Amino acid sequence: MILREMRERPEAWSRVKRAAAARWLIPFVAFEYMWDWVAYFLSRWSFLEVLEYLGTFSVLVGVIFFFSESGDRVKQRHYQAWQVINTAQGKGGSGGRIEALQELNADKVPLVGVDVSSAFLQGLDLRGANLMRSDFSSADLRNGKLAGVNFEYANLNSANLREASLDGAKFEQANLENADLTGSSLERADLSGAVLDDADLSGADLKDARWAQIKGLKGANIGGVKNAPAGFVAWALAHGASEPAGPGQ
């Protein structure tokens, strides 16, 4: 910001001229002297002071508008994220959906009913997201960070959830048929009413998982499950699951 200050009246030319150290310097001194007078008159021109105040005011107005329109910018960003997701619906690959989904979830936007079937979403981080009634069928979610996600009534048929973190996730009434849960972490996951027919749970961690009301487990592979709750293995085998022996067993 320019700070306007009142300048003193320049000295008489005769005195300035005598102060010159050498005659050849006089043209340069005269040039500087001329601008001293220009600066002197401008420092007394109130119009410039008004312009300075207006410049400061315009910055203030700009800041006010910036913050007042922040909500609109957020809405525009969300609209663009949804556009990316919906445009790529039913297609393979990522298509920018990983970033779009993570951005929406970071802003606490519910992702209820989102359709990302067949999408490549490896490493997706949607911890705590609301994905009720979503469609992740045949999606690649390997190594996904999905702890605390609400997958109630979601379609995860044939989804690849290998090595995914699903601690505390809710799978009530979810379709997990043919899902690959190899090596996944399902600690404290709620599997009430979930259908896990032909799912691969080999090596999955089931510590404290709620399993008693699983709807279907026929043909599922439970070989090598870790921290299986008391009674789970026997119940699963009695309901059509298999426990194939690992290498060397």
Read off the pLDDT of residues 88-133 as tens digits, 9 standing for 90 and up.
Answer: 887 788 889 999 999 999 999 999 999 999 999 999 999 999 999 9
CA angle 152, 155, 157 (to 5 degrees): 135
* Per-residue confidence (pLDDT) for residue 110, from 0 to 100: 92
Query: Helix, strand or coil for residue 65?
Result: helix
Tokens describing residue 228: 């299986």
Give, as one character, the DSSP assignment of residue 155.
B
**And the tokens for 206?**
């089931």
pLDDT at 68: 59
pTM above 0.85, yes or no: no
Beta bridge partners of 195: 175, 216
Pick the more confident residue, 18 or 66: 18
* Domain residue ranges of the chain, discontinuous segments joined by +: 13-68, 90-242
* DSSP state letter for 23: G
Residue 220, helix vs strand vs coil: coil
Quick one: pLDDT at residue 111? 95
- pLDDT over 70 (residue 54): no
Which architecture, in CATH terms, is 90-242?
3 Solenoid (2.160)
